[in-house]
Amino acid sequence: MRIDGKGLIDRTKPVRFRFDGKDYAGYKGDTLASALLANGVRLVGRSFKYHRPRGVLTAGSEEPNALVEVVGPTNQTPNVRATMQEVFEGLVTQSQNRLGSLRFDLMAVNDYLSPFLSAGFYYKTFMWPRAFWEGLYEPIIRRAAGLGSLSGKHDEGTYEKAFAFCDVLVIGSGPSGLMAALTAGRAGADVILCEESHALGGRLLSDGGTIGGVPAGEWVASVVAELQALPNVRIMLRTSVTGAYDHGTYGALERVGLHKPARPNLPRECFWRIVAPHAVLASGALERPVAFENNDRPGIMMASAVRTYLNRYGVVPGQRVTLFANTDQARATARDLMAAGVQVAAIIDPRPDAFSVEDCPVHVGAEVIGTRGRMGLRGITVRKGSETFEVETDCLAMSGGWNPTIHLTCHMNGRPRWNEDLAAFVPMEGAVPGLVAVGAANGSMSTHGALVTGHAAAVQAVEALGRKVSVPLPEAEDAPYRLRALWAVEGKGRAWLDFANDVTTNDVKLAAQEGFRSVEHMKRYTTQGMAPDQGKNSNVAALAVLADATGRGIAETGVTTFRPPYVPVSIAAMGAGGRAEGFAPQRFLTSDQASRDRGAPMIEAGLWYRPSYFPKPGETTWREACDREVNMVRQAVGVADVSTLGKIDIQGRDAGRFLDFVYTNTFSTLPVGRVRYGLMLREDGLVLDDGTSARLGDDHYLMTTTTAAAGLVMRHLDFVHQAFCADWQVRFISVTESWAQFAVAGPKARALVNSFLEEPVELPFMGVAPVRIGGVDGRLFRISFSGEEGYELAVPTRFGEALFRDLVARAETMGGGPYGMEALNVLRIEKGFITHAEIHGRVTAHDIGMEKMVSAKKDCIGKAAATRPGLWGPEREQLVGLKASAPISAGAHLFVPGTEVHRETDQGYVTSVCWSPTVDAWLGLAFLKDGRARQGERVRLVDHLRGLDVICEVCHPVFHDPEGEKLRA
Amino acid sequence: MPELIAKSALEGRSLTLGGVTLAEVDVGPITSIALLPGGAKAVAKGLKPLGLSMPEPNSFAEKKGARIVWTGRDQAFLTGADCPDMEGAAVTDQSDGWAVLALSGAAAVDVLARWVPVDVRLAAFPVGRALRTQLNHMNVILLRSGDYAFEIMVFRSMARTAWHELEAATHMVAARAGVKI
Amino acid sequence: MRLTCPLCGERDRREFYYYGAEDYLHRPSEGAPLAEWDSYLHLRDNPAGVTKDLWYHEAGCSQWLLVTRNTVTHEISSVEMVAGRKA
């Protein structure tokens, strides 16, 4: 019900929205919760386990009951807190966790089964028979588990991430936060002020009162106006600071577009990483419920929430309100209601010495012991001494005192302190370096206390920044905070602690009785505190009940650890910028468009997109194209873009010496104009990478790495250089991106290459020379990864596309053409060349038959460790070739024919396979125990995944042109 | 004899949206100068004709269209001018290795704040500063070329991804501009 | 987590690659006994308190850094460049 003249909503801007298929009206400035309450809707959800009817409990992000689904044009967001969701024109919402309608939820049968569903029910019930677990229990539990549901469709929404930096981060904008921001802002510090709600002011928007002699609302407005005018203050509304991390880093979730109709490119949420050397935690406090029988009915709310709905939203949630509270402060709710003309049916105060000044029935030393009204509160039962009586009421405002919102102070392992006067936990000082808790978050419960501590923390921060400031403190109420702790009212029935997860006082007592006496064990056994509200409403009361049940004090019982995030953060927001194209950079070759023009499917390799094969009309499978391309290279000429190989330019008088140190073999003796294959080890003796290095000048080398290991090798070279030889005359830099490089291979390769050169060159095998191509300086290497006479022609990247198109066009006139990754792979397997399929991080130079490449004349990285026992010898699996007449697979394992197939009889494994059109057989590269000595033997290849069981012949790994005559032609 | 046509990574693409302009620019030749131990004097001499010297960390300097950008320990990129012959350094042509994007406008700083984990506001990152950092998952060299202008050097092969990220952020920032705080 | 690179300044942890203990800097000389290599490669302390380890400013200046930090308090007391360090 709406009250005229109250609230900060904009009554000139009515808004229509939908809940469970019905249209309602609200105003701009309403939350879904306030708008539903204004429309008299009390039942908004069903509880998790017992499917109890539930209504709005709070007015903040801690809401455990009023969780709904927001239905968008492309997505459906579950578990949205109605207390945080602002209404806007066209907002569509629906209730969740129900079978049937919200009013007639078939799952509510669980509530009648509750005697069987107490804490530990799952652990006790679903243990046996074992066979029932997968087939029966799990599907039932899965169906019952969870709260809201997703659309099942891809989320097309826009999500954002961003980084922010400031001197002082102020978290919360109540009296302490505003005072801190104003003080730091006036000092000229760079300030970020984060407020979870959609307006600044915090509890001042709900509580009213006066500050500095003016109504609190006016004071808020004047401070906000000043802050908005300060260029050094950034105000972030709708932003929850979710976590405190090392070295002044904070996570924060901003609701950017969730309060308005979806628009293209408007982010729904933004996840901020904020870096701040100083932070002021002005997060306030959360009011805590009292546990009494059936305290979870729709219409039973926190006293502060009732006050918020009245003063901030102009809404009263009932016609006859009652108050059950154990502090003086909570009485303000009753007084504000009466002032607004709302009937307060009774005030029930459990403190025997409480005052009684209100103009309504006040029952001192009394407790609420029961409630009526399944779908909405109708009445309560009150006990005063030995007498019990009924009070008719449709809204019970309750308060068990306040818990300072200390969560962020615990994110780096800070343990809170128990404060007996407040009956609450307060932050440990210095728990998060740079973060100071102020106001109610630090146990200063009065407005005056909030202003003083907020000001002091800001002064401390700005002085640390070398600034000075003086801001007069306005006067404000400084009433003492008096309460008598009341966690649970004596009684036998079910009294809820954790509304969200349906945990009652009986569950906690049962846990204690069954030996789960530690707060950590109790939490896990009962699931208390493990719902979306993460125990914000229930943790302290639950451990108080546990302390009582185990005969200990609360301080001794201790608390569970608060961990980030403070509020639920959608995965989409957390991972913003990391989906689709944002997942990883896409690296494109200069030949990319030319390859796509020819219909080549592109595959990703080390972030690069490379053509898989180049289909021709009439070809229906990749194999047809691949076989043709292999034959083309073997018989005519093929062109492939090999620019992806890592290229490192190394210069200086000690360049050769450096290469000698990082490669197993010697490069300082390589003549200028020649290329040598090199093998690189890790310091532990295993192979890191291989590739060719060319000597371009006396003090100038060009190293190539494999595509996959280019980054790894650069990091390794940087380490070796900086750690062991930073004083050598050598520097190096990646030139991978600087050159477009094309392999030209086949019997007609020389003719094709020479047709491009201004002056043809005669290069020996493993030679390199500078060349001129169409007026451009390039490089020509005579190297081969195919086993045919091969060249690699390099030009500055800007000319890559033009050269590729031209090379391919001319190759085609010679019976050749482009070839892709598939053919490239077949060509290298036929020739026994290894890739990272073979040098996968577990093989030694000995394993791949290259132990002779480890020079005896010099030290190198990995040399010492490579001689360790177990890294060489016949017991190792050694590189061999395999030949078969039936399909074989990489990943298959090898066995001696006739032996059983199991782990103990395993003889090795296959790393690469292909169909070889050249050899007319299936070929493989494999690692086989003592393999080099076993050439000519037969082995049994088994792949259980693909159902293969094939006899193969063990061969030398080089199938094609073993003498290398073609290479040197 | 073939005629080789030069193409830049993004063929000079440009975009203006919500007061932010993003464009691929040509900065001319790019040369890496990496000092060899003891080479500082020789390099200083080599750079003298350009009126430039090796820059301090995280900075760049300009003279008559030539620019020298700090890129690492005892290392700098000379752009916009051919590198004079010099001793004392490993000199490597990097002209084709990088795509350079110019980002300008009042909201450019907000666009970068979506991807760059460094404070790029003017007070923390004034004109004349150059950083090696990240743009989402890509390593970049980021220059503050004006109060409202940046240049971003990214590996040429990743230029399309860099463009995609910056364009997406520009759209988001523009869409937010309608959001009243 | 933030590290202050001696060249680039204070940066987010995402710019750095973590390698391992500083032991990697103390490479045995050529011909050292295998036990010494075993220790160099594999034997590591796991202190609760001050530790020194190696980080690479991969997204920044490509320098290897020697970081002294406290595994209990997470405090970082120094970051030095590996190149040109005093042995």
Using CA atoms, how far apart are residues A26 and A884, in angstroms rounded to an integer? 76
The size of the A-C interface in CB pairs under 8 A is 64
Q: Please tell me whether residues A147 and A169 are part of one structural domain.
A: no
pLDDT-based confidence at B82, cuts 50/70/90?
Answer: very high
- Looking at the partner chain, which of B93, B119, B158 has a beta carbon nearest the beta carbon of A587? B158
Residue A107 pLDDT:
81
Q: Please tell me whether residues A332 and A371 are part of one structural domain.
A: yes
- Looking at the partner chain, which of B117, B136, B176 has a beta carbon nearest the beta carbon of A266? B176
Residue A581 pLDDT:
86
Tokens representing C28?
């045995």
pLDDT-based confidence at B1, cuts 50/70/90?
Answer: low
Residues in A closer than 8 angstroms to C25, CB to CB, are: 723
CATH architecture of C2-81: 2-Layer Sandwich (3.30)
Q: Please tell me whether residues A376 and A494 are part of one structural domain.
A: yes
**Distance (Å) from the alpha carbon of C70 to chain A's nearest alpha carbon:** 12
**Does residue B112 surpass a pLDDT of 60?**
yes
Q: Please tell me whether residues A440 and A417 are part of one structural domain.
A: yes
Q: Measured in Å, how far apart are chain B's first and last C-alpha atoms?
A: 63
In a domain, A646, yes or no: no
Q: Does the beta-carbon distance from B4 to A797 stay under 8 Å?
A: no
**Distance (Å) from the alpha carbon of C3 to chain A's nearest alpha carbon:** 9
**Does residue A186 surpass a pLDDT of 50?**
yes
pLDDT in tens, A787-814: 999 999 999 999 999 999 999 999 999 9
- Choose the mutation target among C2, C11, C57 for the interface with B, i.e. most B CBs under 10 Å: C11
Using CA atoms, how far apart are residues A366 and A440, in angstroms rounded to an integer? 28
pLDDT in tens, A333-384: 999 999 999 999 999 999 999 988 889 999 999 999 999 999 999 999 999 9
Q: Please tell me whether residues A880 and A946 are part of one structural domain.
A: yes
**Does residue A399 surpass a pLDDT of 60?**
yes
Cβ neighbourhood burial of A519 (10 Å; 0-12, 13-18, 19+): buried
pLDDT-based confidence at C87, cuts 50/70/90?
Answer: low
- Choose the mutation target among C15, C56, C58 for the interface with B, i.e. most B CBs under 10 Å: C15
Average pLDDT of the segment spanning A186-199 = 98
Using CA atoms, how far apart are residues A771 and C35, in angstroms rounded to an integer? 51
Are A546 and A528 in contact, with CB atoms under 8 Å apart?
A: no
Residue A126 pLDDT:
67
Q: Tell me which chain C residue has its CA closest to the CA of residue B134.
A: C59
Taking phi first (over 0 means left), then psi (-120 to 50 degrees means alpha), and beta for anything else, what does residue A188 get?
Answer: left
Q: Does the beta-carbon distance from A729 to B37 stay under 8 Å?
A: yes
Q: Tell me which chain B residue has its CA closest to the CA of residue C16.
A: B133
Q: Which chains touch B (3 or more CB pairs under 8 A)?
A: A, C
B57 touches chain C (CB under 8 A): yes
Q: Does the beta-carbon distance from B164 to A581 stay under 8 Å?
A: yes
Using CA atoms, how far apart are residues A311 and A320, in angstroms rounded to an integer? 17
Sign of CA dihedral A339, A345, A348, A354: positive
Are A783 and A675 in contact, with CB atoms under 8 Å apart?
A: yes
**Distance (Å) from the alpha carbon of B51 to chain A's nearest alpha carbon:** 25
Q: Please tell me whether residues A370 and A444 are part of one structural domain.
A: no
Residue whose entry in the numeric block shows the structure tokens 């053919």: A823
- Looking at the partner chain, which of C1, C54, C64 has a beta carbon nearest the beta carbon of A247? C1
pLDDT in tens, A587-641: 999 999 999 999 999 999 989 999 999 999 999 999 999 999 999 999 999 999 9
Domain ranges within chain C, ordered by starting residue? 2-81
Domain ranges within chain B, ordered by starting residue? 14-27+97-177, 30-93
Q: Please tell me whether residues A68 and A133 are part of one structural domain.
A: yes
pLDDT in tens, A707-741: 999 999 999 999 999 999 999 999 999 999 999 99
Residue B180 pLDDT:
37
Q: Which residues pair with A211 in a beta bridge?
A: A214, A476
**Distance (Å) from the alpha carbon of C60 to chain B's nearest alpha carbon:** 5
Q: Please tell me whether residues A46 and A164 are part of one structural domain.
A: no
Tokens representing A343?
């009937």
Residues in C closer than 8 angstroms to A721, CB to CB, are: 83
- Choose the mutation target among A190, A258, A265 for the interface with B, i.e. most B CBs under 10 Å: A265
Are A381 and A365 in contact, with CB atoms under 8 Å apart?
A: no
- Looking at the partner chain, which of C32, C41, C64 has a beta carbon nearest the beta carbon of A718? C64
B59 touches chain C (CB under 8 A): no
Using CA atoms, how far apart are residues A174 and A203, in angstroms rounded to an integer? 6
- Choose the mutation target among B10, B172, B173, B181 for the interface with A, i.e. most A CBs under 10 Å: B172
B72 touches chain C (CB under 8 A): yes
Residue B179 pLDDT:
39
**Does residue B43 surpass a pLDDT of 70?**
yes
Using CA atoms, how far apart are residues B163 and A200, in angstroms rounded to an integer? 37
Residues in B closer than 8 angstroms to A235, CB to CB, are: 181
The answer, yes or no, to whether ipTM is higher than 0.90 is yes
pLDDT-based confidence at A125, cuts 50/70/90?
Answer: low
**Does residue A685 surpass a pLDDT of 50?**
yes
Average pLDDT of the segment spanning A77-88 = 97
- Looking at the partner chain, which of A165, A736, A773 has a beta carbon nearest the beta carbon of B4? A773
pLDDT in tens, A851-885: 999 999 999 999 999 998 899 888 999 999 999 99
Residue A128 pLDDT:
67
pLDDT-based confidence at B181, cuts 50/70/90?
Answer: very low
- Looking at the partner chain, which of A266, A732, A738 has a beta carbon nearest the beta carbon of B93? A738
Using CA atoms, how far apart are residues A660 and A651, in angstroms rounded to an integer? 14
Q: Which residues pair with A762 in a beta bridge?
A: none
Q: Please tell me whether residues A51 and A8 are part of one structural domain.
A: yes
Residue C41 pLDDT:
95
Q: Tell me which chain B residue has its CA closest to the CA of residue A722.
A: B73
**Distance (Å) from the alpha carbon of A222 to chain B's nearest alpha carbon:** 16
Enumerate residues 6+ apart whose C-beta is below 8 A from B101. Answer: B10, B22, B23, B24, B25, B151, B152, B154, B159, B162, B163, B166
Are A402 and A286 in contact, with CB atoms under 8 Å apart?
A: yes
**Distance (Å) from the alpha carbon of C7 to chain B's nearest alpha carbon:** 6
Residues in B closer than 8 angstroms to A737, CB to CB, are: 96-98, 155-157
Across A52-66, A72-86, A247-261, B88-102, least confident range: A72-86
Residue A127 pLDDT:
65
Q: Does the beta-carbon distance from B131 to C7 stay under 8 Å?
A: no
Using CA atoms, how far apart are residues B142 and B120, in angstroms rounded to an integer? 10
**Does residue B103 surpass a pLDDT of 90?**
yes
Residues in C closer than 8 angstroms to A865, CB to CB, are: 37, 41
Domain boundary among A512, A531, A557: A557
Name the average pLDDT for chain B: 95
Q: Please tell me whether residues A124 and A209 are part of one structural domain.
A: no
Residues in A closer than 8 angstroms to B161, CB to CB, are: 581, 585-587
pLDDT-based confidence at B38, cuts 50/70/90?
Answer: very high
Residues in C closer than 8 angstroms to B54, CB to CB, are: none
Q: Which has the higher per-residue pLDDT, A665 or A963?
A: A665
pLDDT in tens, A224-235: 999 999 999 999
Mark which residues 650-679 of A lie under 8 Å from B by CB: 650-653
Report the CATH number at residue A127: 3.10.20.440
Tokens representing A44?
């908004």
**How many other CB atoms are there within 10 angstroms of residue A624's CB atom?**
14
Tokens representing A325?
């509270």
Going across the sheet that includes A362-364, the strands are: A300-302, A395-399, A320-325, A343-349, A362-364
**Does residue A286 surpass a pLDDT of 90?**
yes
Average pLDDT of the segment spanning A514-528 = 93
Closest among A281, A317, A505, A461 to A398, alpha carbons compared: A317
**Distance (Å) from the alpha carbon of A671 to chain B's nearest alpha carbon:** 20
**Distance (Å) from the alpha carbon of B5 to chain C's nearest alpha carbon:** 33
**Does residue A495 surpass a pLDDT of 90?**
yes
Range of the domain at A232: 159-285+404-464
Residues in B closer than 8 angstroms to A802, CB to CB, are: 2-7
- Looking at the partner chain, which of C2, C37, C63 has a beta carbon nearest the beta carbon of A865? C37
For residue B108, what are the CA distances in angstroms to A257, A483, B103?
Answer: 21, 54, 6
Q: Does the beta-carbon distance from A723 to C17 stay under 8 Å?
A: no
Report the CATH number at residue A923: 2.40.30.110
**Distance (Å) from the alpha carbon of A572 to chain C's nearest alpha carbon:** 19
Q: Does the beta-carbon distance from B73 to C63 stay under 8 Å?
A: yes
DSSP state of A760: -
pLDDT in tens, A400-450: 999 999 999 999 999 999 999 999 999 999 999 999 999 999 999 999 999
Amino acid identity at A968: R
pLDDT-based confidence at A24, cuts 50/70/90?
Answer: very high
In a domain, A525, yes or no: yes
Residue A155 pLDDT:
87
CATH architecture of B14-27+97-177: 2-Layer Sandwich (3.30)
DSSP state of C9: E
The fraction of chain B above a pLDDT of 70, given in percent, is 97
Q: Please tell me whether residues A212 and A245 are part of one structural domain.
A: yes
Q: Which residues pair with A631 in a beta bridge?
A: none
Residues in B closer than 8 angstroms to C8, CB to CB, are: 57-58, 131-133
Q: Does the beta-carbon distance from B117 to C15 stay under 8 Å?
A: yes
Q: Please tell me whether residues A100 and A110 are part of one structural domain.
A: yes
